[in-house]
Amino acid sequence: MADKNTFEGTTTVGITCKDGVVFASERRASMGNLVAHKVAEKIFKIDNHIAATIAGSVADAQSLMKIISAETALYRLRNGKDISLEAAAAVSSNILHSSPAYVQTLIGGVDDTGASIYSLDAAGGMIKDTFISTGSGSTFAYGVLEDRFHEDITVEEAKELALRAIKAATERDTYSGNGFLVAEVTKDGYKMLEKEEVESIIEKINS
């Protein structure tokens, strides 16, 4: 994969909260030992109630996000209602199982059953968990998540936790860095945090 831009060195985090889910990532896209891009988008809005993160080949990841978004839109047209998180994850799993891609994906959000996050591997393996990290910096991120996560965590608390985890990864993983992205999904829908809000949380962490 050295001949294409990848998110292979990515660090992403997904946290299930009692009132929604939070996703965070850094922004570096690498090509071997070259920092190919410093403003990579690694969190995607799939639907108003679903978001996803990606690690792996840029081309494969972007293609997968487009397909999943199209499938969720088609489901609503055919059935007159939003797709459930489990069904969206299962569709994504089937896509990867039939055509494996060089990606690792987190997909999650809020539906009638509450908040949930699923991890999908390159061959379509699907696992539901309360908090998940992907990419080369995930070892460092998990250290923070394991220490600070609790079952009653709120979205507000999780935004700070997710950024702490990503920040820890960027300080030790050479393939992660160049800024932060944070998104939340609640009963009110999908929201990508503004740069100023992210910076405010980082300042709180550093203080």
Catalytic residue positions, numbered: 10
Angle (CA) 200 202 207, round 5°: 95
Please report how many Cα atoms fall inside a 13 Å half-sphere around the Cα of residue 71, on the Cβ side: 19
Structure tokens that stand for 28 in this block: 């570096």
CA gap 75, 2 in Å, rounded: 37
> How distant, in Å, are the alpha carbons of 117, 130, 183 from that of 73?
19, 26, 20
CB 159 within 8 A of CB 20: no
CA gap 205, 54 in Å, rounded: 25
